[in-house]
Structure 1
Amino acid sequence: MAEGIVPPLIELLRGLCALEEKFYARGQKQRAERPGGIYSTQAHPNSKALWGYYREAYKALLDPRCTEKLLAQRRDCCQSMGDPADFACLKGPAEVVFTMKSKGKAVVMVRDCDGFGSDCRFELKPEGGGWKIHQVSRNTCGGGPWRTDLYF
């Protein structure tokens, strides 16, 4: 089961990482070109449009891989464009743990992926002929409580 679930999830997370890096670079370029220069507090006139494009591209990549329940409870996505990007650790060797909880539930945990000591756990369920992300949780420092991520 792991061969059919983990590689597509990791490919998706790498795609989200690449997308974030691409839009982060665009944002930095925009920031340097804004009125008043790079240290200005004034936003670039096109910054809202850049965020809109980023959200649409993010959703186009992610939403087909999520269950209806996750999409219904999600508050928003794309809360930040950072350096390093979320899941940048997946460019190199990262610790990924797969657990088949039951016939209809798999859990994939990516350990310390953001470099700040937090782990990310993906609960996947079969829906529409494939395994889709049903819930995303994070914990801090590898030992804190798991908190549902409503912004994934």
Structure 2
Amino acid sequence: MPDDEQLLDRLREVLEATDPPPPALVDAAKASLAWRTVDAELAELVADSTTELAAAVRAADPPRLLTFTAGETIVVLEVVGDADARRVMGQILAPAPAAVEVRHAAGALSVDADADGRFRAAAVPAGPISVTCRFPDGARPTVVTSWVTI
């Protein structure tokens, strides 16, 4: 009878051969760990218009509104688009210029937020995204949103 480690190794081999994870899932899992830095604050999703009761009575394809918070910083995203690509428009509250990175399974898009904290990223692939906001001169800690599927 094999010991536990040998049994686990054999089970891992069988699973990898019969039902491997999709490559996009593996890439997204690896990307989700890449943001972790000591000085970053994780912004948690606190509101999603698709889960609100009012979403049921709106037009057929309303924009999706997502709100994330991390300490004193709030990041609001509006997502519109078709089945393949999305446009992500956002605003950082309290307003501040920032370097913004919209990360997705296929890579990342870099844009700048203006002095009012507004930014826009076009042609974001459908699927999981996370937004990173880096503020100049360390005025505030870097903020990274949790991953959400758009």
TM beyond 0.5: no
Greater helix fraction, Structure 1 or Structure 2: 1
Greater strand fraction, Structure 1 or Structure 2: 2
TM-score range, shorter chain: 0.3 to 0.5
TM-score (norm 1): 0.32
TM-score (norm 2): 0.32
Q: Could you say which structure has the larger radius of gyration? A: 2
